Amino acid sequence: MKDFFLLVICSLCTCFLVGQNITITMLRIPDTGQNKSYTNTFGEDNDYNINVPFYINNQNGTITDTVTGLMWQMTDGGEMTVENATAYCDSLTLAGFKDWRLPSPHEAYSILNHQNNNPALNTIFFTKTGADYWWTNTRQANDNTKVWVTNAGGGIGNHLKSETISAGGTKKYHVRAVRDVNVPQNIQSRFVDHGDGTITDLTTHLVWQKNLNLSSINWEDALNYAEHLELASFNDWRLPNIKELESLNDYSIVNPSISTTYFNSIGVKKYWSSTSLPNQITKAWYLNTQFGITTYDEKTVLNYVICVRNETPTTAIKNEPQANAETFIVFPNPSKGNVNIYFLEHQHEYLKDITLTNQLGQVIYKCAADKHSDKMILDTENVLPGLYFVTITLGNSRKTISVCIQ
Beta bridge partners of 341: 330, 376
Is this model's pTM higher than 0.85 or not? no
Contact 314, 374 (CB under 8 A): no
Contact 207, 198 (CB under 8 A): yes
Contact 218, 300 (CB under 8 A): yes
Contact 405, 383 (CB under 8 A): yes
pLDDT score for 398: 65
Q: Provide the 3-class DSSP secondary structure of residue 90.
A: helix
330-332-338 Cα angle (round to 5): 95
Of 66, 181, 50, nearest in space to 125 by CA: 66
**CATH assignment of 190-315?**
3.10.100.10
CA–CA dist 258, 252 (Å, integer): 9
Residue-by-residue pLDDT tens, the chain, 406 positions: 333 333 322 333 444 433 347 889 998 899 999 989 999 899 999 999 888 888 999 999 999 998 999 999 999 999 999 999 999 999 999 999 999 999 999 999 999 999 999 999 999 999 999 999 999 999 999 899 999 999 999 999 999 999 999 999 999 999 999 999 988 888 889 999 999 999 999 999 999 999 997 799 999 999 999 999 999 999 999 999 999 999 999 999 999 999 999 999 999 999 999 999 999 999 999 999 999 999 999 999 999 999 999 987 644 445 543 444 456 677 777 777 778 777 665 555 556 677 888 766 677 777 766 666 667 777 777 788 888 878 777 665 667 777 888 7
How far apart, in Å, are the Cα atoms of 98 and each of 62, 150, 268?
13, 24, 41
Q: What are phi and psi of 315, to 5 degrees?
A: -80, -20
Query: What would be the CATH architecture of the domain defined by 320-405?
Result: Sandwich (2.60)
CA–CA dist 34, 180 (Å, integer): 26
| DSSP at 246 | H
**Domain pair 190-315 / 320-405, same fold:** no
Task: Give every CB contact of residue 27 below 8 A, 6+ residues apart in sequence.
Answer: 11, 12, 13, 67, 68, 69, 182
Domain ranges of the chain: 15-180, 190-315, 320-405
